[in-house]
Amino acid sequence: MKMNRIFTSLSVLVILVSLIGVFPAGAAPSAPPVIDDAKLKAMFSTLEGADVLPTTRTVPHWFGTTFDPNNGVTYGYNMVGADPYNCSGSACSVTVETDIIPIIVNVGGLTFSGSNVLAATLASPQFTNNNYSSTPAATDANYARGAGGPLSNLGAGVQLQDVTMRSQFNKGGSYHLILHPNVKPAVTINVPQNQGTLLQSGRGVIFADVNISWWASQIKNLETQADPTHLPLYLTDDVLLHIGPDIFNCCVIGFHGTKARGNGGAKSNGNAVVQTFAWASYMSPGIYARPNGGANWALQDIHAISHEIAEWGDDPFVNNLVEPWLTPTAPQYGCTNILETGDPVVDIGFAMGTNTFRQGPNPVGGGTSADGYYHPEDEVFLPWFMRTAPNTISEPTQSPSSNIGRYTLMGDLNPFPGFRQPATGC
Residue 327, CB-side half-sphere exposure with 13 Å CA sphere: 22
Q: Distance of CA 420 to CAs 41, 56, 407, 413, Å?
A: 25, 37, 6, 10
Q: For 64-97, b where at least 16 C-beta lie within 10 A, e where not — what string?
A: bebebeeeeeebebbbbbbebeebeeeebbbebe
Confidence at residue 26, expressed as pLDDT on a 0 to 100 scale? 36
d(CA 78, CA 213): 27
Q: For 251-278, b where at least 16 C-beta lie within 10 A, e where not — what string?
A: bbbbbbbbbbbeebeeeeeeebbbbbbb
Q: What amino acid is encoded at 177 in this protein?
A: L
Give the pLDDT confidence of 363-374 residue by residue, as tens digits: 554 445 567 889
Secondary structure letter of residue 370 according to DSSP: B
Average pLDDT over the chain reads 83
Query: Which helix (H) or strand (E) element contains residue 17?
Result: helix 12-18
d(CA 81, CA 179): 10
Confidence at residue 10, expressed as pLDDT on a 0 to 100 scale? 27
**Would you say 311 and 299 are in contact if contact means Cβ atoms under 8 Å apart?**
no
CB-based contacts of 214-219 (< 8 A; 24+ apart in sequence)? 215/239, 215/241, 216/47, 216/255, 218/189, 219/47, 219/277, 219/279
d(CA 23, CA 37): 28
Sign of the C-alpha dihedral computed for residues 50, 55, 59 and 64 taken in this order: positive
Secondary structure letter of residue 331 according to DSSP: G
Q: What amino acid is encoded at 367 in this protein?
A: G
State the angle between helix axes of 160-168 and 303-314 in degrees (0 to 180), rounded to the nearest 10: 40
Pick the closest to residue 129 from 156, 166, 150, 97 (CA basis). 156
What would you report as the CA-atom Rg of the chain, rounded to the nearest whole angstrom? 21
Q: Distance of CA 107 to CAs 55, 113, 179, 200, 325, Å?
A: 42, 11, 31, 14, 37
Q: Within 180-335, where are the H helices?
A: 212-222, 303-314
CB-based contacts of 352: which residues, under 8 Å, 6+ apart?
Answer: 125, 130, 132, 135, 151, 160, 373, 374, 375, 376
CB-based contacts of 146: which residues, under 8 Å, 6+ apart?
Answer: 137, 138, 139, 140, 413, 415
What pTM did the predictor assign? 0.87
User: Pairing state of beta strands 156-158 and 130-131?
Assistant: antiparallel
Give the pLDDT confidence of 329-361 residue by residue, as tens digits: 888 888 999 999 999 999 899 989 999 999 876
- Please list the pLDDT of the chain residue by residue as tens digits (426 residues): 333 343 332 222 223 223 333 333 334 357 899 999 888 888 778 777 777 877 788 999 999 999 999 999 999 999 999 999 999 999 999 999 999 999 999 999 999 999 999 999 999 999 999 999 888 888 764 443 445 667 887 778 999 999 999 999 989 899 999 999 999 999 999 999 999 999 999 889 999 999 999 999 999 888 777 889 999 999 999 999 999 999 999 999 999 998 876 544 334 455 788 999 999 999 999 898 764 445 577 899 999 999 999 999 999 999 999 999 999 888 888 899 999 999 999 989 998 999 999 987 665 544 455 678 899 999 999 999 999 988 766 544 444 344 457 899 998 888 888 998 999 988
Q: What amino acid is encoded at 50 in this protein?
A: A
d(CA 341, CA 315): 8
What is the C-alpha end-to-end distance of the chain, expressed in Å? 50
**Would you say 360 and 289 are in contact if contact means Cβ atoms under 8 Å apart?**
no
> C-alpha dihedral over 248, 249, 255, 258, to 10 degrees?
-130
Domain boundaries, the chain: 35-419
Confidence at residue 17, expressed as pLDDT on a 0 to 100 scale? 28
